[in-house]
Amino acid sequence: MLIHFSKMHGLGNDFMVIDNVTQNIFLNTEQIAALADRNRGIGFDQLLMVEPPYDPDVDFHYRIFNADGSEVQQCGNGARCFGRFIRHKGLSNKNSFRVSTKGGVISIELDKEGLVRVDMGEPVLQPQAIPFKANKQEITYILRAEEQTFLCGAVSMGNPHCIMLVDDVDNAPVDQVGALLTKHERFPEAANIGFLQIVSDQHARLRVFERGVGETQACGSGACAAAVWGMLQERLESPARIELPGGTLEISWQPGQSVFMTGEASHVYDGQIVL
């Protein structure tokens, strides 16, 4: 099987992107994990598939697979690259597209400055819908693991996020606590674990241990979830600048409305591989 693909990244969160409008590629979990291998494969955090629409209301369908081969509901940095890829491949000449994902419909807009703005939909806070095991909805929950206690937020942006405040994100135990909590039994579908340091009313720093990957340079849906949680606690104001190890995103949100994420999306190279 010959696969044509592009390598792209959003703030260092990197992707293999496959056009499945003009190709008909099916990859199983083992094949995706092998391609994601940074030593023996192409190397990426997520595989993104651009598919024809399943519904007349949308322009494309967007499938997302983590480096471990698991299919997931949402990827924010990937959404910006998805928009740039559609233009790069000439799959549409529109400047904005409606795209369905497993986590809901999003809208992607290519702006004139070369940035990409995504309407990520409304955040989900209701525990059952995240899914997160809790008796009632709260802003902060107590999570216990291995005799340690963590005060966390639980927010879905289509995919589940657990966020905690830290004083110094540079020295946060991201690998250790991320690995401990990502498969916590209160997140039945596992979760992405965010470590948020508030710098000022409109500026925060964030590192994310991603479900199915480990720590990445940036997580777009994680930045949206963390900004919403910061705003719910009145620790952040919209629009907020969320600084990740790979770069900065602008996140806007008003309660009852969609979250908007704006940032860069970069094309690295086009390639082909035989499997």
Ligand X SMILES: N[C@@H](CCC[C@H](N)C(=O)O)C(=O)O
Could you list the residues known to form a binding site for substrate, using ranges: 13, 46, 66, 76-77, 159, 192, 210-211, 220-221
Stretch that binds ligand X, among 75-83, 86-94, 108-116, 168-176 (CB under 6 A): 75-83
Beta strands at 96-101 and 60-66: parallel, antiparallel or unpaired: parallel
Residue 200, phi then psi, degrees to nearest 5: -155, -175
User: Which of 203, 201, 161 is closest to 184 using CA atoms?
Assistant: 161
205-233 burial code (b ≥16 CB/10 A, e <16): bbbbbbbbbbbbbbbbbbbbbbbbbbbbe
In the bound complex, what is the minimum distance in angstroms from residue 70's beta carbon to ligand X?
A: 7
Residue closer to ligand X, measured from CB, 210 or 250: 210
Nearer to ligand X, 183 or 200 (CB): 183
Do strands 203-210 and 192-200 pair parallel, antiparallel, or not at all (unpaired)?
antiparallel
Q: Write phi, then psi, for 175 (nearest 5 degrees).
A: -65, -45
> Is the Cβ of residue 86 or residue 223 nearer to ligand X in the bound state?
223
Pairing of strands 104-110, 116-119: antiparallel
Q: Site residues for ligand X, window 113-172 (CB under 6 A)?
A: 159
In whole angstroms, the minimum distance from the beta carbon of 182 to ligand X comes to: 9
Closest alpha carbon to 78 in 22, 157, 1, 4? 157
Q: Give catalytic residue positions.
A: 75, 219
Among 32, 60, 77, 172, binds ligand X (CB under 6 A): 77
According to CB under 6 A, which one of 27, 72, 226, 228 is a site residue for ligand X?
A: 72
Comparing CA positions, the residue from 210, 195, 190, 219 lying closest to residue 132 is: 190
The smaller minimum CB distance to ligand X, of residues 14 and 168, is found at 14
Stretch that binds ligand X, among 167-175, 210-218, 234-242, 245-253 (CB under 6 A): 210-218
Which range in 25-33, 171-179, 208-216, 251-259 contacts ligand X by CB under 6 A? 208-216
State yes or no: cis peptide before 131, omega within 30 of 0. Answer: yes
Q: Would you say 75 or 251 has its CB closer to ligand X?
A: 75
101 near ligand X, judged by CB under 6 A: no
**Distance in Å, CB of 159 to ligand X, minimum:** 3
Candidate residues 42, 86, 172, 213; the one interacting with ligand X per rule CB under 6 A: 213
How many other CB atoms are found less than 10 A from the CB of residue 168?
A: 9
Chain positions 11 to 30 lying near ligand X, rule: CB under 6 A, are 13
Angular region, 230: left φ>0, alpha ψ -120 to 50, beta rest: alpha
Q: Are 262 and 107 a contacting pair, CB within 8 Å?
A: no
How many angstroms from the chain centroid is the CA of residue 29? 19
Question: What residues numbered 215-254 form the site for ligand X, per CB under 6 A?
Answer: 216, 219-222
Nearest distance from C-beta of residue 219 to ligand X, angstroms:
4
Only segment of 31-39, 72-80, 90-98, 106-114 that touches ligand X (CB under 6 A): 72-80
Residues forming contacts to ligand X in the complex (CB under 6 A) are: 13, 45-46, 66, 72, 75-78, 159, 192, 210-213, 216, 219-222
